[in-house]
Structure 1
Amino acid sequence: MAVSFHVRSKSYPSRQHPQAAHVNEQLTRLRSSETASSSSICQRLINLQDLHDSLEKMIRLSVTNQALSQDKIEKLLDGSIKILDLCNIAKDGLSQMKESLKEIQSVVRRKRGDLSAEVKKYISSRNILKKSFQKVLRSLKTSQNKNNNYEPLAVFGEAEAVTIALFESLFSFMSGSKSCSKWSMVSKMMSQSKVTCEAEANEFKRVDLEIQSEKSLKVEEVHNLESCIQDLEDGIESLSKSLIKYRVSILNI
């Protein structure tokens, strides 16, 4: 659905504000990126940061101020704090996993210490985090059924929706879900070769599988997961800063 923000005058027909047109272009790019690889999610986090920087500029326009009622301002504030909460949950989860991985990697590299104990701690931590992520995902799906009407500034509602959709992908990704992309499903139908979800296991899932058997645990896979976690942390941190700036501009109206 196309979203728009129009400036009206008595003499001229309605036309889309340039800043709103730019936001619409950013939303279109975000909606079209559906793959759930680490690089894709990191890029979408960057795009979301740019989107909220653009929304912050849009908020500061006098014409936007005039169109926002107190009720709409409250909805924007509620939406921004909800997304900041999601950022904090994701950052906390990533931080816990990173610390556990450092302990495992230290034991593997030095070839001394109790690897079995560190693996058990990691598995226990992962199970707790997976349950936490699943709880968040259920909460997000429930909240999607609620009507968030931002008219006439529907662009803000669309921005919130694509941001929450990204976090759904992120929490599923961090859980190590075996979800095939649409392209994989097409490949299965069009090619004689087998294309399986397992072949697409992400960094989290690969380490989860390997860590069950200490003998097959590969330092490279642990390192890849650490790099993935760092990239996600950086992306979420940058998005958080843009969201805070965006929220401050809403509060200043």
Structure 2
Amino acid sequence: MTNPTKRSSRCNRSLMAGLLALSAIALWQAPASAAEDAVVIPPPALDEQAKPGLEKAVFAGGCFWGVQGVFQHVKGVTSAVSGYAGGSADDAVYETVGSGRTGHAESVEITYDASKVTYGQLLQVYFSVAHNPTQLNYQGPDRGTQYRSTVFTENAEQEKIAQSYIAQLDKAKLFDKPIVTTLESGKAFYPAEDYHQDFLQLNPTYPYIVYNDLPKVENLKALFPTLYSDKPVLVMAAKKS
């Protein structure tokens, strides 16, 4: 996945389908493990109050397939869309973002019911199971600034909560290295191409998904049982309805 051209070809679901299916069998039966292991962390000391209405959060943490797949299983999340944030509208195209020179990061825009789940709880999932916040400009096999760990804050309250939580986690020394997650504000989010949406849900035997992303969903279920939902919210189903 370090070569954007190779990854682009892999994203084509019709390419080498037979070979992928065969290789997936062995991976599917292998123990669940990934480069970004989950870390048990406390909830944020500073959080927003539960309130009626829908809110948005945008997180970047490596390949958006896995980050989207995790948050699609969080109770209170009504939508999780893969896309790009950090750059311009003109550059919000997968092949261009893959160059690492656009300022964009592969991101997920989460719409959530703030009466059912808080921004702080979403951050806890993000830092604990969705990605490894100590990896600078990479996640697992993916390299480049487009895979950076970034919280794109929607407002001053989100920025304050995220900043406070990063300081809290660093002080607790729960990770083996310092957190490198950056905070970026005032950046627009652009949805990714349709073939990237719901990728984990639609391709559960895809080798990359099996090794890197399904363990994240299992970790969500194990570490956050009260937040876990068996039924994922799907982007494409909503678009068709």
Q: TM-score, structure 1 length as denominator?
A: 0.28
Higher strand residue share = 2
Larger Rg: 1
Structure having the higher helix fraction is 1
TM-score (norm: length of structure 2) = 0.29
